[in-house]
Structures are given as structure tokens and as C-alpha cells.
Amino acid sequence: MRRIIPTLVIQGGAGGLIKDKRRRLKIRKKMAGILDRGYKKLLSANAIAAVTWVTRLLENDPEFNAGRGAMLQADGKARLSAAVMDGARSRFAGVINIEGIRNPVLVARSLLEESSRILAGPEARRWAVDAGFETGATRTARSIRLWEKKSSAGSDTVGAVALDAFGQLASATSTGGRGYECPGRVSDSPMPAATYATDYCAISATGHGEEIIEAALAVRIAQRAADMNSLKQAFRKTFSEVSARKGYMGAIGLNRLGHVVIQTTTPSLLYGWQQGKFRKLF
């Protein structure tokens, strides 16, 4: 029988090139550390636990546009969105535009066990508070500075996909949105267009939310991958279509054989992946 090598892929957003070499190295180092901790977790946990854990670490780092470092909407508020999908159970859960909760991905993971699995706005917050999730400010000096400049995100999402030792796949994605968008706008991250997993593959997407939703990106890739029996071909075909429409997006993907595919139409995509001793960073 084929031995499964647990595999973890993380992403820190697609966006502009980080031209400042020092900042690029700093983010690379941070992602290396997070990948390290995430991979250790994967070796002792299942895929859904590992993607939740590692996405939480990315949310906790103010460099990334999710959780603590989230961009602010035009009214100066951080509204956070996150989702998880467990490929083994074909089960999806998410939170949309939740405020003042440190780790929306943990709330999404908890909702995975509920009958109402996608909650939004103040009701999502109330549920999270009642369930005991940590509350607190999710605005930083950096996000306030960017908001004052009416800036949109340079890197816009975090996420992960994993294959565990049991052959199970899972995906998680979390975001603060595009930055300075219309209050109440909903990102792609808490939708299957960006966060999707089956028993064949798992995908987490990043980029312009509206375009990702219109392309139904992650679902489209996953369906094609199963039909073509090739994740790589599914990515190629789907990205040739979104490129033709000048879509601005990227995705990380992983299948049950441990094949990793990463593709983007953007100038850069911050990613890292590990499979046994093999490791690669952007």
C-alpha cells in the first residue's frame, strides 16, 4: 500500500510584489516559522485540525490581512471572514463579517459541528462570544495607517490546505477583505469559491473576491480535478479561463496523492509548503 506523506501548504495572500527586499525576507521568515509549527501539528493531528491551527497562526500575525492584521472597511471597522472545509466529510462552515473576535477561523471550525454552519455579522459575534471565543481589538497601527490612506490590500488573505496521514484533506481561508471597501461587503474567503475540499483535493484561494466568486474558482478546480484525475490540469485549464477574463487571483491546491499545485494571475503569491523533509517557500 502507498505510504501517505502528510503535506501542508500555506498562503499569505496574492497581491503586489513586495519590492522592499528586507520586508520580503521578513515575511518569508515569518511564513517559514508558521509552516514549521503547522507541519508539526499536522504530524500529530488530522487535516482539518492542522489547517485551522496554521490559519490561526497567520491570523495572529499582524503582517497578514486576516485576524489581527485585517484591513479596515471604509467606515474604519475590521470585519473578518473565515471558512473551513473538511474534505473527508464534505462539510463546510464559515463566519462572515464578524467584528472584534481574534480568530474567526476558530469560530468557523467550531461551527463545522453545528447544523447552522455559516453565520454572519452581529449574530455571528454573539454566537462566538457565547461559545467563549477570545474577543479584542482587531485594528493595528498599520491597518489604521492604510485606512487613512484609503488603501486597498496588497496581500489579501491567508489560508492553508493539508493532507494528513490518514489520507484526509481539508482547507481553511481567512481574510480582512480588500481594504476600504463598502461597509458590509462580503469576501470570497467564507464561500466555497475560495475554500473547498473533497476526498480528492483541497483548495484555498486569494485575490479579488468578486472575481473569485464569479469564477466559482475553488469549486471549479476541484470538480475538474476529479473529472480529469489531475489537479495540475484542472488548475491550468481554470487559470487559462480566468486569465482570459483578466481575473486577479491565485490559489494553492493539494490532492490525495500529495501533488501540490500553486498558480496565480497576480504578480506574486506568498506561499510555503512542506512534505516530509521537502520544503519550499515563495
Residues that bind ligand GLY in the complex, under the rule CB under 6 A: 156-157, 175, 177-178, 187-189, 206-209
Contacts of residue 209, Cβ cutoff 8 Å, sequence gap at least 6: 175, 177, 178, 185, 186, 187, 188, 189, 194
61 versus 156: smaller Cβ distance to ligand GLY: 156
Closest CB 277 distance from ligand GLY, rounded Å:
32
- For the question of residue 157 being annotated catalytic, the response is yes
* ∠ CA 152-32-72, rounded to 5°: 20
Closest CB 212 distance from ligand GLY, rounded Å:
6
57 versus 249: smaller Cβ distance to ligand GLY: 249
Cell 478546480: give the residue.
221
Closest CB 9 distance from ligand GLY, rounded Å:
17
Catalytic one among 138, 157, 173, 264? 157
52 versus 189: smaller Cβ distance to ligand GLY: 189
Report the C-alpha gap between 84 and 21 in whole angstroms: 33
Closest CB 173 distance from ligand GLY, rounded Å:
8
222 versus 249: smaller Cβ distance to ligand GLY: 249
What residues pair up with 161 in beta bridges, in sequence order?
9, 171
Report the C-alpha gap between 54 and 160 in whole angstroms: 7
**Cβ atoms within 10 Å, residue 183:** 12
Active-site positions?
157
